[in-house]
Chains A and B, each alone.
Chain A
């Protein structure tokens, strides 16, 4: 299964790629919201998206909202992985179609368990 990771930090993307690949997933990467959508357009078989909030060019919430409004991508589950943890931000995330919120720093085992739980349902 393919996971799209969108984060402007290369360090985070590399770490996530290593951890998700260990969990048996294939990973494609986007460096910001604009690029994330471009990568998604080229990888229509993405099963889940892990996305940061604060990024240049297009932030994660805007990207998720656009993805959620596109019929062919609407069903893709979205995880937010961010340093943001305020209730207002989470409410905005929910509105944008985010189903799970993880505050950085992440723990690989917990993330894989949560992803597994969601993908089993879809």
Chain B
């Protein structure tokens, strides 16, 4: 049984919302906006960071597509350096960690909806490798693309979702309603 159309839309909105909130927090900037990507580009940008969120009910591949200058600019805030002083390895690491934070939050939201998944280690590769990913794309996958942008940067995001079994996403909350005061609380075990 495939998930209901409205649940798929909810899942897509959830991933979009989480990617935005994680870039705001990780990049420590409040000027991040969500926008659309027009058309179906073969390659989105020079680099892409990738992470897999996978379980018995669902498999999701989240990618952030970016140019070196945008990643350096975003990384310059947490590194507290000028973007010109950021090494490319640091910029790529910033984007890998962005994927990690996004996937972790997706996993938590799915878990709240009783859909259990695991998360891979994030990786970064050349954007041109997208050509190979597209060759392997499953026909009925759910796909979404959007951009996260500010006055001085832009990154593309894509998610490819494959659902299995009788996945029910009715209880999924698409909103990222974390209160700042709830974040980063230490739980003593």
Closest residue to B91 on the A side, CB-wise?
A11
- Pairwise interchain contact A101-B189, C-beta atoms closer than 8 A: yes
Q: Which B residues, 142 to 167, have Cβ-Cβ distances below 8 Å to chain A?
A: none
11 more CB-based (< 8 A) A-B contacts, given A14-B79, A107-B183: A11-B93, A11-B97, A79-B186, A99-B188, A102-B185, A104-B104, A105-B22, A106-B184, A110-B186, A111-B184, A113-B186
Chain A nearest CB from B147 CB (Å) reads 22
- Pairwise interchain contact B97-A9, C-beta atoms closer than 8 A: yes
The A interface is mostly helix, strand or loop, or mixed, namely: mixed
- Pairwise interchain contact A110-B101, C-beta atoms closer than 8 A: no
Instruction: Write out, one digit per residue, whether chain A residues 84-116 have a CB within 8 A of any chain B CB (1) or not (0).
Output: 111000100110001111111111001101100
- Pairwise interchain contact A83-B79, C-beta atoms closer than 8 A: no
Closest residue to B95 on the A side, CB-wise?
A11
- Pairwise interchain contact B184-A83, C-beta atoms closer than 8 A: no
Selecting from B4-12, B38-46, B57-65, B105-113, the interface stretch reads: B105-113
Closest residue to B100 on the A side, CB-wise?
A83
User: Does A12 interact with chain B (Cβ within 8 Å)?
Assistant: yes
A-B interface, 3 closest residue pairs, ranked by CB to CB distance from nearest: A83-B104, A107-B184, A114-B186
- Pairwise interchain contact A11-B79, C-beta atoms closer than 8 A: yes
- Pairwise interchain contact B188-A15, C-beta atoms closer than 8 A: no
Count chain B residues whose beta carbon lies closer than 8 angstroms to a beta carbon of A: 30
From the candidates B100, B103, B104, B111, name the one contacting A9 in the complex (CB within 8 A).
B100
Closest residue to A15 on the B side, CB-wise?
B78
Can you spell out 21 A-B residue pairs with CB atoms less than 8 angstroms apart?
A9-B96, A10-B89, A11-B90, A14-B78, A14-B79, A14-B90, A83-B101, A85-B108, A99-B188, A99-B189, A100-B186, A101-B187, A101-B189, A102-B185, A103-B104, A104-B184, A105-B25, A105-B183, A106-B183, A107-B183, A113-B186
User: Does B121 interact with chain A (Cβ within 8 Å)?
Assistant: yes
B residues contacting A by CB (< 8 A) are: 22, 25-26, 75, 78-80, 89-90, 93-94, 96-97, 100-101, 103-105, 107-108, 111, 119, 121, 183-189
Chain B nearest CB from A95 CB (Å) reads 10
Q: Which residues from chain B contact A106 at a C-beta distance below 8 Å?
A: 183-184
From the candidates A9, A98, A113, name the one contacting B93 in the complex (CB within 8 A).
A9
- Pairwise interchain contact B75-A11, C-beta atoms closer than 8 A: yes
Count class of interface residues, chain A = 20 to 34
User: Does A18 interact with chain B (Cβ within 8 Å)?
Assistant: yes
A residues contacting B by CB (< 8 A) are: 8-12, 14-15, 18, 54-56, 79, 82-86, 90, 93-94, 98-107, 110-111, 113-114
Q: Which residues from chain A contact B80 at a C-beta distance below 8 Å?
A: 18
